[in-house]
Copies of this chain bind each other. A is one copy, B any other.
Amino acid sequence: MLDVSALSGASLKTVSRVVNGAQGVTPGLAEKVRTAIAQLGYRHNQGASSLRSRGQRTSSIGVLLHDVANPFSSAMYRAIEFAARDRGVVTLAGSLDGDPERERHLVMELVERRVDGVILMPSSGDHSYLLDERRTGTQFVFVDRPPAFFDADSVLADNRVGAARATQHLVDVGHRRIAYLGDSVDIVTARERLDGFTAAMSEAKLVPDPQLVVTDVGDPDRASVAMERLLDLADPPSAVLTAQNLVTFGVLHTLRDRRLRHIIAHVGFDDLPLADLLEPGLTVIAQDPTRIGRTAADLLFARIDGDASPTRHVVSDVRLIVRGSGELPGPFAS
C-alpha cells in the first residue's frame, strides 16, 4: 500500500479510502490510485485490515460438520456458502467425524483465526467450553444436533415427528413387526427418532419387540451386520425403519444381497442421491438441508450483526417421500 501511495502521489490514507470504496475522494485522484494499484498488482490485505477496523471482523465464518463428504452435510454447506457469498464472507469447512476432541480443537483453530461465527454440527455432548470461546466475540449456531450446557441458536429437523410419520406409514401399510435401526441414544437426535418410533407404535397399539430395536449402529457395516441378525431371527421383521443415512446404506446392502428389497418394507431417515433410481425406489423421511443451511446462516449473520435477542431454536419440517420400498406388504402377504 505504501508503494501504491508513492507511485500515485496520494497519501496512505487516501489509498485506503479508495481501496475501501469510501466517500469523498476526487475522481481524478481515485483514478490515479487505481492505476497505480493495477500497475503494481497490489492486493488488499484483509488480515491487516480487520486487525484495525470493522470491530475486528474478518468476514469469515467456520462450518464444522460431521463429515463434509456426507451428501446431507455437503448440501447444507452449499447453502451456507451461498448465503455467505452474498455478504462477501468466506467459509472455512471442517469434518469432525464424531470426535469430541477434534471438535474442540477445530473450534479453537477457528477462534484463533477470529472467524466472525461458527455453524456447528456437534460431535461432543458438552459445549460448556464454548463459553470461553465466545468471549472473543465469536457467535455460534448449532445445526442437526442441539447444544448441551450452552445457550445458542439451533436449527434442527423435526426428528420425533419424522420418525413417527415413517413408523405410522409402515403401520398403515399393515406392518406389525417393524424393526428400528439407529445411532446410539446418547446422541440426542437419535434418541428423538427412537422416541418418535416408540410413540407411533404405542399410538397404533403395538408393542415393539425389543429384539427388533437396535440402537448402536452408526455406520453401514454395523447396520448391515445388525440387519442380518434380525433377518435370521425365528420371527423376522416385515418392515424396517433406518434412522440415519449411513444406516440406510448398510441395510440396503443387506436387503439387496438377500434379495429381499422387493419384499421387506423399508423407510429411511434422510434422503440419498440415487434413492429414486433404486428398484424399488427408497421411501424416505427427507430433511431439507438447503433450508436448514440457509436458516442457520441467517441466524448466524443476524447475531454477527448484533442481534442480542433471546436464543432461537428453529425446527425444520421433514417430509415423507413415497417411492415404493415403504409400501411393500412384507413377506407374509398373500
Query: Which of A46, A88, A136: most chain B CB closer than 10 A?
Result: A46
Q: A residues 71-101 with Cβ under 8 Å of B?
A: 71, 74-75, 77-78, 81, 85, 88, 90-95
Q: Tell me if A298 is interfacial: C-beta within 8 Å of chain B.
A: no
Q: Tell me if A109 is interfacial: C-beta within 8 Å of chain B.
A: yes
Q: Tell me if A114 is interfacial: C-beta within 8 Å of chain B.
A: yes
Q: How far does the alpha carbon of A108 sit from the alpha carbon of B85 in the complex, in Å?
A: 13
Residues A275 and B273 in contact in the complex (CB < 8 Å), given A71-B71, A77-B69, A93-B91? no
CB-defined contacts of A50 to chain B, threshold 8 Å: 47
CB-defined contacts of A81 to chain B, threshold 8 Å: 68, 93-95
CB-defined contacts of A43 to chain B, threshold 8 Å: 108, 111-112, 133, 135-136
CB-defined contacts of A41 to chain B, threshold 8 Å: 132, 135
CB-defined contacts of A278 to chain B, threshold 8 Å: 274, 277-279
Determine how many copies of this chain the complex contains. Answer: 2
Q: How far does the alpha carbon of A291 sit from the alpha carbon of B333 in the complex, in Å?
A: 48
Q: Which of B46, B93, B135 contacts A112 (CB 8 A)?
A: B46
CB-defined contacts of A195 to chain B, threshold 8 Å: none
Q: How far does the alpha carbon of A277 sit from the alpha carbon of B257 in the complex, in Å?
A: 9
Known: A41-B135, A71-B74. 7 other contacts (CB 8 A): A44-B112, A68-B81, A68-B93, A69-B75, A92-B92, A92-B93, A252-B274
